[in-house]
Structure 1
Amino acid sequence: MRKSLLIIFILLFVKVHSQTQSNSAIADSLYATGNYAKAINQYAANNTKTGSLQIARAYNAIGNFDKAIGQYQSVVGQNPDLQIASFELGKLLVKTKAYDEARKLFANLVSKAKDNPEYYYYLGEVYAQLEQPASSLVAYKKAVENDSTHLRSIFKLAKYFVVKQEKNEALKYIAMGLNFNPDDVALINLKALTLFNDNAYDKAMPLFEKVLELGETKEYVYDKLAYCYYKNWEFEKARANYRKMLEIDDGNSETYFKLAEAYRKDKVLDSAEVYIKEAMNIQKPVFAEGYARLASIAREREDYKTALNLYKQAHKEDPSDPVLYHNICTLVDRTSKVSKVKLEYYEKYLEKYGAIKTGYASYYSTMVAKRISQLKEEIHLNAD
Structure 2
Amino acid sequence: MMGIKSIWYSCLILFSFQAGAQSSALPVADSLYALGNYAAAINAYAKQNNTASSLQIARAYNAIGNYDKAIVQYQETLGMDPNLDIARFELGKLLLKTKKYDLALATIDVLVSKEQENPEYYYYLGRVWESLNNQKRADEAFRNAVQKDSTHLRSLYSLARSFVSKKEKDSVLKYVDMGLRFYEDDVSMINLKALAFFNNGQFGMAIPHFERLLELGEEVPFVYNRLAHSYFRDLELEKAQKTYHQLMKFPEYLADAYSGLGEVFLKEQQLDSAQYYIQKSIKERTVTFDKEYADLGRIARIQGKTKTALDLYTKAWEENKDNPYNYYQVCILADEYYKDANTKLGYYERLLEMYPDLAPFIAERVQKRISEIKEEIHYAGN
Question: Fold conserved (TM > 0.5)?
Answer: yes
Aligned twin of 1:336: none
Q: CA RMSD in A?
A: 3.1
The alignment partner of 1:372 has SS state of helix
Q: Which runs of 5+ in 1 are unaligned?
A: 334-340
Distance 2:72 2:293 in 1: 63
Which moved further from structure 2: 281-290 or 319-328? 281-290
Give the 3 Å change call, closer, same or farther, for CA 209–5 of structure 1 in structure 2.
farther
Pairing of 1:31-70 with structure 2 (within 5 A): 31-70=33-72
Aligned twin of 1:312: 311
Distance 1:116 1:317 in 2: 55
Given that residues 27 and 42 in structure 1 are in contact (C-alpha distance below 8 angstroms), is that contact kept between their aligned partners in structure 2? yes
Give the 3 Å change call, closer, same or farther, for CA 264–378 of structure 1 in structure 2.
farther
Distance 1:310 1:50 in 2: 76
Shift of 1:4: 10
Distance 2:176 2:289 in 1: 42
Structure 1 residues 225-251: Cα deviation after superposition (integer angstroms, max 9, x where no partner): 111101111112112222233321356
Given that residues 36 and 58 in structure 1 are in contact (C-alpha distance below 8 angstroms), is that contact kept between their aligned partners in structure 2? yes
Distance 2:134 2:327 in 1: 41
Distance 2:68 2:315 in 1: 59
What is the identity, as a one-letter code, of the residue corresponding to 2:363? S
Distance 1:370 1:180 in 2: 62
Identity of aligned residues (%): 40
Shift of 1:14: 5.3
Distance 2:289 2:82 in 1: 66
Given that residues 124 and 135 in structure 1 are in contact (C-alpha distance below 8 angstroms), is that contact kept between their aligned partners in structure 2? yes
What is the identity, as a one-letter code, of the residue corresponding to 2:202? A
Give the 3 Å change call, closer, same or farther, for CA 31–258 of structure 1 in structure 2.
same
What is the identity, as a one-letter code, of the residue corresponding to 1:315? T
Pairing of 1:132-151 with structure 2 (within 5 A): 132-151=134-153
Given that residues 288 and 315 in structure 1 are in contact (C-alpha distance below 8 angstroms), is that contact kept between their aligned partners in structure 2? no
Structure 1 residues 361-384: Cα deviation after superposition (integer angstroms, max 9, x where no partner): 52441453365378679979xx9x
The alignment partner of 1:93 has SS state of helix
What is the identity, as a one-letter code, of the residue corresponding to 1:369? I
What is the identity, as a one-letter code, of the residue corresponding to 1:88? E
Scaled by the length of structure 2, the TM-score of the pair is: 0.86
Distance 1:378 1:247 in 2: 61
Distance 1:285 1:123 in 2: 39
Aligned twin of 1:271: 273
Aligned twin of 1:190: 192
Given that residues 329 and 342 in structure 1 are in contact (C-alpha distance below 8 angstroms), is that contact kept between their aligned partners in structure 2? no
Aligned twin of 1:326: 331
The alignment partner of 1:322 has SS state of helix
1:230 matched to 2:235? The reply is: no
Give the 3 Å change call, closer, same or farther, for CA 354–65 of structure 1 in structure 2.
closer
Given that residues 33 and 60 in structure 2 are in contact (C-alpha distance below 8 angstroms), is that contact kept between their aligned partners in structure 1? yes
Shift of 1:324: 3.5
Structure 1 residues 236-278: Cα deviation after superposition (integer angstroms, max 9, x where no partner): 2112222233321356534422220111102222211111221
Q: Which runs of 5+ in 2 are unaligned?
A: none
Distance 2:316 2:22 in 1: 80
Aligned twin of 2:250: 248
The alignment partner of 1:199 has SS state of coil
Aligned twin of 1:202: 204
The alignment partner of 1:46 has SS state of coil
Given that residues 76 and 85 in structure 1 are in contact (C-alpha distance below 8 angstroms), is that contact kept between their aligned partners in structure 2? yes
Given that residues 293 and 316 in structure 2 are in contact (C-alpha distance below 8 angstroms), is that contact kept between their aligned partners in structure 1? no
Scaled by the length of structure 1, the TM-score of the pair is: 0.86
Aligned twin of 1:96: 98
Distance 2:253 2:151 in 1: 42
Given that residues 244 and 261 in structure 2 are in contact (C-alpha distance below 8 angstroms), is that contact kept between their aligned partners in structure 1? yes
What is the identity, as a one-letter code, of the residue corresponding to 2:314? H
Distance 2:311 2:301 in 1: 13
Shift of 1:295: 3.3
Given that residues 308 and 331 in structure 1 are in contact (C-alpha distance below 8 angstroms), is that contact kept between their aligned partners in structure 2? no
Structure 1 residues 197-218: Cα deviation after superposition (integer angstroms, max 9, x where no partner): 2211111110011122222233
What is the identity, as a one-letter code, of the residue corresponding to 1:112? K
Given that residues 127 and 133 in structure 1 are in contact (C-alpha distance below 8 angstroms), is that contact kept between their aligned partners in structure 2? yes
Which moved further from structure 2: 165-174 or 236-245? 236-245
Aligned twin of 1:21: 23
Q: Paired residue for 1:218, among 208, 214, 220? A: 220
Given that residues 309 and 333 in structure 2 are in contact (C-alpha distance below 8 angstroms), is that contact kept between their aligned partners in structure 1? no
Shift of 1:185: 0.8
Distance 2:290 2:173 in 1: 40
Equivalenced residue count is 371
Shift of 1:317: 6.8
Given that residues 58 and 70 in structure 2 are in contact (C-alpha distance below 8 angstroms), is that contact kept between their aligned partners in structure 1? yes
1:372 matched to 2:373? The reply is: yes
Given that residues 157 and 170 in structure 1 are in contact (C-alpha distance below 8 angstroms), is that contact kept between their aligned partners in structure 2? yes
What is the identity, as a one-letter code, of the residue corresponding to 2:232? Y
The alignment partner of 1:188 has SS state of helix
Aligned twin of 2:345: 347
Distance 2:64 2:289 in 1: 53
Distance 1:129 1:285 in 2: 30
The alignment partner of 2:47 has SS state of helix
